Amino acid sequence: MDPAIQLILETSNRSHFHFPTSTFLFYMYRLFCYEKYFFSLSIQAKELFLEGVELERVGQHFSAIQKYKRAVQLVPDIEYRTFEDMRRNQQQQGENTLEEAERIFLLLCT
């Protein structure tokens, strides 16, 4: 079964379930495909942007600009998204490290 249709069926209230119309299913399927497509573009854009960062770091500025331009063509706010993801990951790692330190401290104190 198509994942979009399966998602609709799983999230429907089964006690008051009315099978969705074909038009509704069509638009839900299109939305699902669009989200999948946009997610794929975001991954490609992030990879291009990070390649540009690396090229700029080693001094290949012209090649870096080409990578940045291609990434921005795919996802216009890719710089913000990439650095926001990196910030979120670092924050998550910091929380994990703090939890690990607390756990070790408690083991040593007991």
User: Cα–Cα distance between 41 and 37 in angstroms, integer?
Assistant: 6
pLDDT of 108: 66
Q: Name the strand (E) or helix (H) holding 101.
A: helix 78-109
pLDDT of 81: 87
Other Cβ atoms within 10 Å of 90 Cβ, number: 10
pLDDT tens-digit series, residues 62-109: 999 999 999 999 889 988 888 888 888 877 777 667 677 667 666 666
pLDDT tens-digit series, residues 18-28: 556 677 777 77
For residue 12, pLDDT beyond 60: no
User: Cα–Cα distance between 6 and 98 in angstroms, integer?
Assistant: 40
